Amino acid sequence: MDVVTAYLYDNLDTDIYMRIPAGLVEFHNFQRQSECLKLERALYGLKQASRMWYERLKYILIDQGFKNYEVCPCIFIKRTDKELVIVAVYVDDLNIVGTANAISEIVSQLKGEFEMKDLGETSFLSWPTS
């Protein structure tokens, strides 16, 4: 699954200001060139954007009963007596493997939170040999 505009979903946890882009200064008739804008949400290219995206995803998955381990923070596992689902996070892509019911359940829950594209079944998965 690919999360569309993943970094743009989150509010920031710190105050971040940016210079007003040149074209915007003339368009809105700002008083001084030295004025700035306070960002309310993350932007692509912002250093904090990837961390904010990951923290939001982590919160949602843990709220759904997933476990996340410090050893491998990009892997989330949810296991019950009959179901298993593993979510591997790579930037804004999610590789979801497990039993069919568990996969469809977490996909529908994530689609309720984010706009997502289904990239189809995993065709190749490499596992480290050492």
* Predicted local distance difference test score (pLDDT) of residue 28: 59
pLDDT of residue 42: 67
**Which candidate, 44, 47, 112, 122, places its Cα nearest to that of 87?**
122
Q: What pTM value is reported for the model?
A: 0.73
Q: How far apart are CA 86 and CA 84, in angstroms?
A: 7
Q: Coil, strand, or helix at residue 100?
A: helix
Residue pLDDT tens, the chain, 130 long: 888 876 666 666 777 777 776 666 555 555 555 677 777 766 666 667 777 788 889 999 999 999 998 888 999 999 999 999 999 998 888 999 999 999 999 999 999 988 889 888 877 777 767 6
Q: What is the pLDDT of residue 92?
A: 81
Burial of 84 (0-12, 13-18, 19+ CB in 10 A): middle
